[in-house]
Structure 1
Amino acid sequence: MEILREILVALHLLGMAIIVGGYFAFIRTPKVAPGMLHGSYFQLITGLLLLTIAELGDDDVNHMKMGIKLLIAILVTVFAIIGNKKQKAFTAGASAGGAPAGTGADGVGTADGAVATAVKNPSATMAHLVFAGAIINVLVAVFVS
């Protein structure tokens, strides 16, 4: 049982590394990459399995800490799902042949220097929330006893 727990801990940390690495890979134009979504799934599932193993063991489990970590993990997963859907819709719309940012409906650039209202990346906020949630979850795991 101890070997299984150690393997799950390693996989749980791998999920965290996927989220953080996915965020830093697109740090200049943050977006929710598919890897970040998969990393959040990975962390949620391995975290639940680790909690199950801890409940089966003889040691006491801090249920408040586990509840907080579970809530944050669910929020991170939801943010990743929403961000991934926004990113897919944005990519599909951009590849459908929409006019580039800063151009009018006829494809000609705006002469008066008007600010383009096109969104550069709609999932940037969700990427920040996924990253921040994952970091907060680590901080709760380390500093809450």
Structure 2
Amino acid sequence: MDILLGIILILHFIGLASLLGGVLVQVKDAIAGKGRIVAAMIHGALTQLVTGVALVGLIQMGGGEINNTKIAVKLAIVLIITVLVFLFRKKNPVVSWAIWVIGALTIANIAIAVLWH
């Protein structure tokens, strides 16, 4: 079970890297009004969503403690990110605020994961 949990956690981090990396690549274009939703952002958002739910399920199956309020907040944020990514994926260029909001929510989710005990 520990190996599976570790693999899912690694995939969760890869999804985070993909999502945040996609946002950072688009920052310069977003400033110029030419930003777009790249595939890395779509795949990263979906990976974060699926692996996050899997992590919670695996931890609960193993008898671990879960802060349900924290998880609910993080789930709400990743759902908003995923909806924004899918709403704007076919628009070129995308409104710049969408990229900024996706980036800010991604960083907020990181902060919640690290700082909320």
Q: TM-score, normalised by structure 1?
A: 0.73
- Counterpart of 1:131 in structure 2 is 103
Higher helix share: 2
Please identify the structure whose Cα radius of gyration is greater. Answer: 1
1:39 aligns with 2:44: yes
Work out the percentage of aligned pairs sharing the same amino acid: 29
Q: How many residues align structurally?
A: 112
Q: Distance in 1 between matches of 2:95 and 2:56?
A: 31
For normalisation by structure 2, the TM-score amounts to 0.89
Offset from partner CA, 1:52-91 (integer Å, 9 cap, x none): 001112222110111111101101101111121323xxxx
Q: CA RMSD in A?
A: 1.2
* In 2: Cα distance, 1:130 partner to 1:83 partner: 11
| Unaligned stretches of 5+ residues in structure 1 | 88-120
Report deviation, 1:126.
1.4
Residues in 2 aligned to 1:33 and 1:125: alpha-carbon distance in whole angstroms? 15
Task: Determine the structure 1 residue equivalent to 2:115.
Answer: 143
Which residue is equivalent to 2:10?
10
The structural deviation recorded for 1:129 is 1.3
- Is residue 24 from structure 1 mapped to residue 14 from structure 2 by the alignment? no
Task: Name the counterpart of 1:66.
Answer: 71
